[in-house]
Amino acid sequence: MRPISALIAISWLLFAASASAMTMSSPPNPCAGPSGLLAELDRPTVADSACVAQPGRAIVEMGYAHLNTNEGTRQTLPQAELRFGLAHHNEFVLLPPNATYAGNERGGETDYSAVVMGLKHEWGYTRRWIYTGEVLFTAPGTPDAAGTTDGWGTAVNGIVGYSLTPRVALGLMLGVTSLYDEAGRRYTSLNPDFTATWLVDPRWQLYAEVYGQTHTAQGAGSGWDTDGGVQYLVTRRIEVDAEIGQRLSGALGGYRHYWGVGAGWEF
Q: Which fold has domain 3-266?
A: Porin (2.40.160)
Q: How confident is the model at residue 149 (pLDDT cuts 50, 70, 90)?
A: low
Domain ranges (residues) in the chain: 3-266
Q: Which residues contact 200 (CB under 8 A, 6 or more apart)?
A: 167, 206
Q: Tell me the sheet residues that pair with 259.
A: 66, 244
Q: What are phi and psi of 104, to 5 degrees?
A: -155, -170
Q: What are phi and psi of 176, to 5 degrees?
A: -125, 125
pLDDT one-digit tens code per residue, 17-50: 444 444 444 688 889 889 999 999 999 999 999 9
Q: What are phi and psi of 220, to 5 degrees?
A: -95, 160
Percent of the chain with pLDDT over 70: 85
Could you tell me which of 191, 249, 180, 254 has the C-alpha nearest to residue 217? 180
Could you tell me which of 218, 173, 238, 246 has the C-alpha nearest to residue 35? 238
Q: Which residues contact 80 (CB under 8 A, 6 or more apart)?
A: 60, 61, 62, 95, 96, 98
pLDDT one-digit tens code per residue, 85-115: 999 999 999 999 999 998 765 567 888 888 9
